Structure 1
Amino acid sequence: MTAPALTPQTPLGTGYGPATTAAEVVAGADLTGRTAIVTGGYSGLGVETVRALRAAGAEVVVPVRNREKAAETLAGVDGVQLEPMDLQDPASVDAFAGRFLDGDRPLHMLINSAGIMAVPLSRDARGHESQFATNHLGHFQLTLRLWPALLRAEGARVVAVSSWGHRESGIVWDDVHFERRPYDPMGAYGQSKTANNLFAVELDRRGRDRGVRAFSLHPGRILTPLVRHTDPELLQRMGMIDENGEPLIDPSRNKKSPQQGAATSVWCATGPQLDGLGGVYCENSDIAPLVPEGDDPVAIAEERVRTGESLAFGVMPYSIDPDSAARLWDLSEKLTGARLDA
């Protein structure tokens, strides 16, 4: 029999909303003396996450594949440490973590924000499908390698930037890497985002008695470099861009600016309302509701947002199931060779 979750998947009523920005979440906060690592911190939502954390005084380390591009993007943000790392290269992940651990620094916040979406089929060096490898396995390995630094913080948070895209697929256990079934770019993306949610559930279970809490989240529907592989006609039909290709911002329908999109990441990493909580999926700087049961639960959730009944899409129950979370953890250990230190 599965033990009940420590934190209910029920909104807290934080007072924030879809229009809240990352800067508003940390307004008045003092993060001096605290250290954060933000993957993807030089693109899209990651840039705004880094900007808000630095403004509040945190030391921020950004792993980068392209130092020149990262330095240019973050030129207006002082004091960010750039370190080489590629999530699809296991040796690179280990090397980055090793360098950080050599400094004996505590790690208070690990925000796993990097990701790819709906890309053509490709595989990493180990043969794993690239979206699952980048969005989940790379972050799984990174988090476990950094475990000593998270424990050293004596109160750390790990944040998995997921997506409402998790509705596209659960974990297809008998063919995770599309070796026997036809490749579906959005299905692969959805599977990797479900993995983000499940990872947070199991990491929180394993870490909560040792001061490490974990969260996953949907940042909102936002135009960032993540959508580079998405057909512009599809984006227009989705109401994300106008006929001129310009973004359509409407927080009431979860269409956000990058500054608004980064708010939930920053809230999960720093918000005092989450003290003592963990293992939940968040949205609009609050814990998200469960998607209601029904003939088509996804359509029901989207209709609630469209009509203004709820400004949160919510989370699919299968993506926060504790038994599936434990199963994914075991699979991820086998695929990466990473284990938590005692």
Structure 2
Amino acid sequence: MTPDTTQQQHPIGSGFTAASTAEEVLRGIDLSGKNVIVTGGHAGIGRAATRALSAAGASVTVGARHPDRAAAAVAGIERVEVSRLDLLDPASVDAFAARYADSGRTLHILINGAGLAAPAELEQDARGYEAQFATNHLGHFQLTLGLLPALRAAHGARVVTVSSGAQRFGEIRWDDPHFATGGYEPTVAYAQSKLANVLFTVELDRRFAEDGIRGYAVHPGVVVGTALNSAAGEEGLRAAGLVDDSGAPIIDPEHGKKNLQQGASTIVFAAASPLLADIGGVYLKDNDISVLDDEPRPMSAVEPPSEIMSHALDPEAAQRLWELSEQLLKG
């Protein structure tokens, strides 16, 4: 019988709010001796998460395509190192995982946080894979598999994958995930990759919870100041209700619009909150487990819908995506 993945998908009353910051969420939590990897941990909400986790005592490895730039960005943050990682390059992903394995360290927290801003035109990697799917999902899928021994060795590990409210509008193009037959639309490709993040989390948790590895998908909010949103330009940001007429950011966490520290908060909540100790395979927003909401709602600049929908938790689709991803890694 297929497990009911929606059983745990309901708020637990964490006591935090949409306005809570990463530092507030981690207050009183000691991560000394814990090893963390954060992809994209040198910029935007990734950097805010790196800083907060370090302040709580964790040792953080940042995976970045340009290590020199990343090292400059995290300079001064304690217990942080940078290692090269290009999620679009399978050899780079394998090399990153191999370097970590060679270090002999266990891995307590893996944060799959790097993301590709939606390119206006179809971009592909060397394999011909659509770049958003390849970066946001497939690269992180490969990375997680490569780090499984270190995660198992921690005897209690978490894999946090940054998704988006866009999962509500996504569908997996099973026969053509890379838009090879045409019809590429940036937002459609983005939504597919963010849905894939949630389905990946569901199947990861099902497969590895008995090994002590739990999975969480996170909606950080719509955050002004990230490369993902800044790529829209001021006009696009204004249309999305993220900046006012003068170009100043609109911070309204209760309506999903957050600053960097608020955006990072649900990521570190997933990574370290003891409230989630016996829970996994869920989608989080606003520092709690999201309600399940299957009511169709259009995109809105006032309050972008971001609650989880049942199709994103479908265990059969999650298993199918896992198997498809394994096939795609074989080329």
Distance, in Å, in 2 between the alignment partners of 1:264 and 1:39 is 16
| 1:60-209 paired onto structure 2 within 5 Å | 60-119=60-119, 120-209=121-210
Instruction: Give 2:237's aligned residue.
Output: 235
Q: Offset of 1:302 from its aligned partner?
A: 6.3
Structure 2's unaligned 5+ residue stretches are none
SS of residue in 1 equivalent to 2:63? strand
Distance, in Å, in 2 between the alignment partners of 1:114 and 1:313 is 19
Quick one: percent identity of the two aligned structures?
50
Counterpart contact for 2:71–2:81, Cα < 8 Å? no
Match of 2:322 among 323, 329, 336: 329
Letter in 1 for 2:144: T
User: Scaled by the length of structure 2, what TM-score is found?
Assistant: 0.95
Q: Offset of 1:229 from its aligned partner?
A: 3.0
Distance, in Å, in 2 between the alignment partners of 1:105 and 1:142 is 16
Counterpart contact for 2:8–2:279, Cα < 8 Å? no
SS of residue in 1 equivalent to 2:307? coil
Per-residue Cα deviation, 1:18-53 (whole angstroms, up to 9, x for no partner): 100000011111111110000000111100100011
Letter in 2 for 1:194: L
Distance, in Å, in 1 between the alignment partners of 2:122 and 2:300 is 29
Counterpart contact for 2:58–2:79, Cα < 8 Å? no
Per-residue Cα deviation, 1:47-101 (whole angstroms, up to 9, x for no partner): 0100011001001000121122112211231221111110000000000100101
Counterpart contact for 1:158–1:213, Cα < 8 Å? yes
Distance, in Å, in 1 between the alignment partners of 2:19 and 2:230 is 24
Structure 1's unaligned 5+ residue stretches are none
Letter in 1 for 2:74: L
Match of 1:225 among 217, 227, 238: 227
SS of residue in 2 equivalent to 1:298? coil
User: Per the alignment, do residues 10 and 302 of structure 1 end up closer, same or farther by CA in structure 2, a change over 3 Å counting?
Assistant: farther
Letter in 2 for 1:5: T
User: Scaled by the length of structure 1, what TM-score is found?
Assistant: 0.92
Distance, in Å, in 1 between the alignment partners of 2:180 and 2:256 is 35
SS of residue in 2 equivalent to 1:262? helix
Counterpart contact for 1:109–1:156, Cα < 8 Å? yes
Per-residue Cα deviation, 1:258-286 (whole angstroms, up to 9, x for no partner): 10000000000100000011000000110
Instruction: Give 2:272's aligned residue.
Output: 270
Q: Offset of 1:257 from its aligned partner?
A: 0.4
RMSD: 1.8
Q: Offset of 1:112 from its aligned partner?
A: 0.4
Letter in 1 for 2:254: S
Segment drifting more, 59-68 vs 46-55: 59-68
